[in-house]
């Protein structure tokens, strides 16, 4: 079962290697913290704030490719946790078909956040890693 989550916080620290995004359960108390890299944290923050750069960055490029191919980023699903590593998929609708693309959660969120793409987490991942 997939649980709808919202991006609640991005913690960016220029003095530490690891950054954190916090997802909050939409209709519940659980939080999921995911450690990500600085580049991904900055990309998520920039796309949330709709800051346009002169040339597209990698996450912008991927979003533009999907759009130019008449696709739509339907949802992000964090679907597994193995050996302290989260796994995700970017679900793209293209000509009525759903295409699932393997992704790191941070990259999927960086691509999808510019389109207000819904984020989901599989229940078994929340049971293993969520806090309240």
- Read off the pLDDT of residues 14-72 as tens digits, 9 standing for 90 and up: 888 789 999 999 999 999 999 999 889 999 999 899 898 899 888 889 999 999 999 99
User: How is residue 18 annotated by DSSP?
Assistant: -
**Max Cα-Cα span within the chain:** 45
Cβ neighbour number for residue 46 with a 10 Å cutoff = 18
Is residue 116 pLDDT above 90, yes or no? no
Which residue, 85, 88, 115, is CA-closest to 102?
88
Question: Considering the entire predicted model, what is its pTM?
Answer: 0.93
Overall domain count for the chain: 1
More confident residue, 120 or 13: 120
User: How is residue 55 annotated by DSSP?
Assistant: S
Q: By residue range, what is the domain housing residue 76?
A: 2-129
User: How is residue 51 annotated by DSSP?
Assistant: P
Give residue-wise pLDDT tens across range 117-131: 999 999 999 999 998
Contact assessment for residue 24 and residue 5, using Cβ atoms and an 8 Å cutoff: yes
More confident residue, 90 or 131: 90
The domain that holds 33 is classified in CATH as: 3.10.690.10
């Amino acid at each position: 079962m997939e649980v709808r989550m919202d991006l609640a916080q991005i913690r960016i620290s220029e003095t530490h290697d690891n950054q954190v995004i916090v997802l909050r359960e939409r209709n519940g108390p659980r939080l999921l913290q995911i450690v990500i890299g600085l580049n991904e944290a900055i990309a998520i923050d920039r796309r949330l704030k709709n800051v346009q750069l002169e040339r597209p960055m990698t996450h912008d490029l991927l979003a533009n490719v999907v759009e130019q191919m008449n696709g739509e980023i339907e949802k992000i699903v964090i679907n597994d946790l193995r050996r302290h590593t989260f796994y995700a998929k970017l679900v793209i609708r293209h000509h009525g078909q759903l295409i699932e693309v393997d992704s790191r959660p941070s990259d999927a969120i960086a691509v999808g956040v510019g389109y207000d793409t819904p984020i989901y987490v599989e229940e078994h991942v929340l049971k293993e890693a969520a806090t309240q």
